[in-house]
Structure 1
Amino acid sequence: MISARHAPHEKMAFQLTLRRRGISDQAVLRAMEAIPREAFVEQGDEGYAYRDAALPIACGQTISQPFVVAYMTEQLQLKPYHRVLEIGTGSGYQAAVLSRLARDVVTLERFRFLAERAKSRLAALGCGNVEVLIGDGFDVPDSAGRFDRVIVTAAMEDIPEGLLRHLAPEGLLIAPVGPPSGSQVLVRLRGTGDGFERTNLIGVRFVPALPGIAREM
């Protein structure tokens, strides 16, 4: 349920903003409409949940602005039978949106606090096809297998080979690439059978992806 403090016109404006900025995939728009964004922001920020802006969350991380979430999701070209890997669970919002569009979602988070809180939020919303794991996005275990789609929600200076090994043949990977304090670009890699085809999409600004599992907060 959407909180009563968010009037229908606010949700309508939210959808119109996404459409005006070029989001046209109806399945993505429906998923964005179905997931209550206010359930994923920090207490006290609920009134800003449907603004097209990133918001701070715990552990020095952010919940991405709605347009970026929708754009990255649209660029994944998801099908209902896809298995998706997300690096950087954060609030759990992106994983919730993905859960509406894919068969299974595995999401890795290096902060235990964020992982546990996201797990509770996703369970409360009935996102039973999402598995939240505490782990290192730079060192995904081989046991995780391969994925049709991979999405990274923190900036990497380079996409590690170890992550690419988890991408199925002809799969898609979306990630912000660039230095932590400089310009970053959203990159899409498509498997071609004998390598990867790279497409630079839009300029973005993400918090940096860090290796290892964070110490307890």
Structure 2
Amino acid sequence: MSPTPARQRPVIEVDVVMRREPVQGAMARWQPWRWVLADVMLHAAPDEAALLEPDEAHAPQAVEPIAAGSAAEGSEHWLHPRFRVELFRDDAEGYMLNLQSPSPCFWVMWRTDGEAAADGEPMAVPLIVTLSYHDAGRWLDAQERVDQVPAPPEVVDWLRAFVDVSYVPEPKKRKRPESFRPLTDRFGQPVRVSTDKRRGGPEGH
């Protein structure tokens, strides 16, 4: 009898599009080009992605240049295919916080790689894609480059369905009664309270 396969985490696959665009103004003297996140596109929906083998190569592909006369004239677009975005039950709060934002989004952590150059210029290399607010916060705290783009409606609906069954709010801590708060003087020092009865009256009586 074959063992029962482990339950697979919800997963989708996405393609990341990075754009190299000319820098405008005085900054162009020192930096003629800059990379920005252009888009994150759904490559495989949940039912399809679960059947695909992970692709670790992520070999970039040049895509058609922007038509002349547009706002992004002179830019180049590079597509980085097949990034897996998995959902983890222990990060349900991070997904919930994303859904509560005005525009739920994908976050992409990326770096520049001189060895993967385009026309002699370092290329932007996406590393991880997430839907977790907590993931993005940790990357930013580590001084990583993180950009975001809105997630399409079908991805938002998929994420919300997962959060609805996975997110359990932490129980509120019971507030400690005021009578249990330690007594302090005006300098913040602990106050000792004696319960001993005072014996005798004032001296001289």
Which range, TM-score by smaller chain?
under 0.3
* TM-score, reference length from structure 2: 0.22
More strand by share: 2
* TM-score, reference length from structure 1: 0.22
